[in-house]
């Protein structure tokens, strides 16, 4: 059992620790291209300040995934690339501590965030991109109710190499 909540400034150290433990795995799929110097508490605090500002400005929404028994942060999940007006869409991304993989936690977090996106934030469409080799993440998106809509060829540079991504989406049919 997990919960998600908006990120807080006080989460910086716990998120940094998780990212360091999972650095190799996270960097296989992320286009963030982090350097060694990025893994500093100061930078994580700056990032959280930026995330809090994005949430105020309706530019992005950033959450942590909390394990129910230990109350530890075991992942992050967010909405980004927010487009309002006549589209009301966003992208979803997530990262889960490898030690907690295979337990359905990422799927639960994705379902919870999709519900927040539709019910609280008023989005009509949530999209996600996933590399075709990332079978675990494909299962998460499909179990969360998302549908594969196509292949975006060579659309995200990861560690200097352009990678294909499947495009998944879910639409709020009530709006």
Contact 29, 158 (CB under 8 A): yes
The pTM of this model reads: 0.94
CATH fold for the domain made of 2-171: Aminopeptidase (3.40.630)
Q: Are 56 and 7 in contact (CB under 8 A)?
A: no
Torsion of CA 37, 39, 42, 43, to 10 degrees: 80
Domain ranges across the chain: 2-171
Q: Give 70-122 pLDDT, tens digit per residue.
A: 999 999 999 999 999 999 999 999 999 999 999 999 999 999 999 999 999 99
């Amino acid at each position: 059992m997990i919960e998600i909540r908006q990120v807080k400034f006080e989460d910086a150290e716990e998120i940094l620790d998780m990212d360091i433990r999972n650095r190799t795995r996270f960097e296989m799929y992320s286009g963030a291209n982090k350097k060694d110097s990025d893994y500093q508490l100061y930078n994580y605090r700056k990032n959280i300040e930026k995330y809090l500002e994005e949430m105020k400005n309706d530019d992005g929404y950033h959450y942590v995934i909390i394990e129910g028994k230990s109350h530890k942060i075991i992942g992050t999940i967010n909405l980004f690339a927010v487009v309002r007006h006549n589209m009301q869409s966003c992208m979803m991304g997530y990262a889960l501590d490898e030690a907690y993989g295979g337990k359905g936690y990422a799927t639960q977090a994705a379902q919870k965030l999709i519900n927040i996106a539709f019910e609280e934030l008023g989005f009509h469409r949530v999209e996600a991109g996933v590399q075709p080799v990332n079978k675990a993440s494909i299962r998460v998106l499909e179990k969360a109710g998302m549908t594969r809509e196509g292949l975006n060829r060579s659309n995200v540079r990861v560690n200097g190499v352009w990678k294909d991504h499947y495009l998944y989406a879910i639409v709020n049919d009530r709006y």
